[in-house]
Amino acid sequence: KYIAIDCEMVGVGTDGVKSALARVSVVDWDGNVLLDTFVRVSERVTDFRTHVSGVRPKDISVKNTNAMEHSEVRQQVETLLLNKILVGHALKNDLSALLISHPKQDTRDTAKYKPFMRPSGRSGGKLRPRKLRDLVYEQCGRVIQVEGESHCSVDDARASMELFKAVK
């Protein structure tokens, strides 16, 4: 019934600020991997963001037969999402990179869960999301995304699910 997703991005364009999908990981309620693949990037990558994304040039190269085309990944994710509740952290970024949408009523974004948010510091009472790393440590007592190490989308998808389960 529930699946969690996390994506890693690389930078494209002249300044590397624009993001392109480079890895997608989907896990089930128990953390079993349903999909974990690198994605071939059609645009020229100008910043691999390896220190954060863990993605290296060889991972998304056209020569890497294990990397998939964006359209193929999108189709697989859409199939996995059928009749499922999607869990993740800051899902807007992942769904945007995948070029897919999912019904709001079937989405559980831990970044938007009000008890996890904090005041923005400005007047107006707005809340802002907190980092997945901090929430998982606080709610689950587990360390993820260690400073100086790259992220792993499988670990982050599992962490989102674990965080969701802690408050479900």
CATH number of the CATH domain containing 150: 3.30.420.10
DSSP structural state of residue 161 = H
Cβ proximity of 53 and 22 under 8 Å = yes
* Host domain of residue 58: 2-167
Tell me which H or E stretch contains 53: helix 50-53
Q: What is the pLDDT of residues 145-164, one digit of tens each?
A: 667 666 789 988 998 998 89
Q: What is the pLDDT of residues 86-113, one digit of tens each?
A: 999 999 999 999 999 999 999 999 988 8
Looking at the 3D structure of the chain, how many domains does it have?
1
157 alpha carbon, distance to own chain's centre: 7
Q: What is the pLDDT of residues 42-90, one digit of tens each?
A: 899 999 988 888 899 899 988 888 999 999 999 999 999 999 999 999 9
Helices 153-167 and 132-140, packing angle to 10 deg:
50
CA-to-CA distance for 88 and 135, rounded, in angstroms? Answer: 13
Cβ proximity of 22 and 60 under 8 Å = yes
